């Protein structure tokens, strides 16, 4: 009759040992994840060209999006003067490059009226939009952060490889206080402003620099 008691006692001791091991393991605070994107409600109404009567939108290929090495990952970059640091305990839900690319695609899909981003690549497009991001950071001054986004946009007409337009686009959105949730909202607003400016730039440039009729490519179906 003692054998069952011994087995129970051994099992109980094993559980207590495991419990003790778990209790002495170092506890780590979970990392809080954030994201940003395109939100049409966070930008001023922009007057864009009306949609074409035939409903055909000019196809544009979204080319490269280059980010500085220090801000292209999933860490949230802050600067103050010449000092650079990352927000502790917080990260973006995906690499900044991916989130920003998704925001550009979402913006063109929802708000562009005369052009569209074609997912099939350069062979199906008439223009290519390339972006070089110079700043994507929370810049501190006197203890107050401002979300700062700045980039160069270049539009190339693929029929003759001519660069038909270039524009420097910036957005600076102040954050009410140094709070990561508020900062994420400001990234939303700054990104939305930049994407809206990119849409306006692309549509204006395409309208002013049409592809010659004899060089228009019919996108493959």
Q: What is the pLDDT of residue 50?
A: 74
pLDDT band at 119 (very low <50, low <70, confident <90, very high): confident
Single out the residue of 195, 198, 173 nearest to residue 186, CA to CA.
Answer: 173
pLDDT band at 13 (very low <50, low <70, confident <90, very high): very low
Region 8-33: what's the mean pLDDT? 55
Region 3-11: what's the mean pLDDT? 42
- The residue that leads in pLDDT, 62 or 44, is 62
The per-residue pLDDT for range 167-176, each reduced to its tens digit, is: 999 999 999 9
In angstroms, rounded to a whole number, what is the distance separating the alpha carbons of residues 136 and 151? 9
pLDDT band at 221 (very low <50, low <70, confident <90, very high): very low
Is 3 a member of any domain? Answer: no
In angstroms, rounded to a whole number, what is the distance separating the alpha carbons of residues 193 and 169? 9
Q: List 165's β-bridge partners, or say none.
A: 155
Give the percent of the chain with pLDDT over 90. 70
Region 118-126: what's the mean pLDDT? 89
Q: What is the pLDDT of residue 3?
A: 45
Residues, the chain: 221
In angstroms, rounded to a whole number, what is the distance separating the alpha carbons of residues 1 and 214? 98
Is 18 a member of any domain? Answer: no
Is 25 a member of any domain? Answer: no
Q: Which domain holds residue 203?
A: 32-211
Are 156 and 163 contacting, i.e. CB atoms less than 8 angstroms apart? yes
Is 7 a member of any domain? Answer: no
User: What is the tally of structural domains in the chain?
Assistant: 1
Is 57 a member of any domain? Answer: yes
Q: Is 4 a residue whose pLDDT tops 50?
A: no
Is 73 a member of any domain? Answer: yes
Q: What is the pLDDT of residue 16?
A: 41
Q: Is 10 a residue whose pLDDT tops 90?
A: no
Q: What is the pLDDT of residue 114?
A: 95
The per-residue pLDDT for range 90-102, each reduced to its tens digit, is: 999 999 999 999 9
Structure tokens at 95: 């690499």
* pTM recorded for the entire structure: 0.82
Is 171 a member of any domain? Answer: yes
Q: What is the pLDDT of residue 9?
A: 43
What is residue 66's three-state secondary structure?
strand
The per-residue pLDDT for range 52-88, each reduced to its tens digit, is: 767 789 999 999 999 999 999 999 999 999 999 999 9
| Cα pseudo-dihedral 81, 137, 71, 33, rounded to 10 | 130
In angstroms, rounded to a whole number, what is the distance separating the alpha carbons of residues 208 and 180? 42
What CATH number did the domain enclosing 131 receive? Answer: 3.40.50.10610
Q: What is the pLDDT of residue 14?
A: 42
Is 27 a member of any domain? Answer: no
């Amino acid at each position: 009759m003692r054998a069952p008691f011994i087995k129970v006692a051994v099992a109980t001791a094993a559980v207590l040992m495991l419990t003790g091991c778990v209790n002495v393991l170092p506890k780590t605070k979970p990392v809080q994840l954030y994201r940003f994107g395109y939100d049409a409600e966070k930008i001023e109404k922009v007057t864009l060209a009306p949609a074409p009567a035939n409903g055909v939108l000019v196809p544009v290929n979204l080319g490269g999006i280059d980010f500085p090495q220090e801000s292209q990952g999933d860490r949230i970059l802050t600067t103050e003067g010449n000092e650079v640091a990352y927000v502790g305990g917080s990260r973006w839900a995906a690499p900044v490059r991916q989130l920003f690319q998704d925001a550009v695609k979402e913006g063109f899909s929802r708000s562009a009226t005369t052009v569209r981003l074609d997912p099939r690549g350069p062979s199906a497009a008439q223009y290519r939009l390339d972006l070089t991001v110079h700043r994507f950071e929370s810049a501190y001054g006197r203890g107050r952060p401002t979300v700062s986004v700045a980039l160069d946009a270049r539009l190339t007409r693929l029929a003759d490889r001519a660069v038909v337009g270039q524009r420097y686009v910036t957005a600076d959105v102040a954050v009410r206080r140094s709070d990561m949730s508020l900062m994420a909202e400001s990234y939303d607003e700054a990104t939305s402003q930049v994407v809206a400016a990119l849409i306006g730039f692309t549509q204006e440039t395409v309208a002013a620099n049409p592809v010659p009729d004899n060089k228009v490519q019919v996108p493959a179906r």
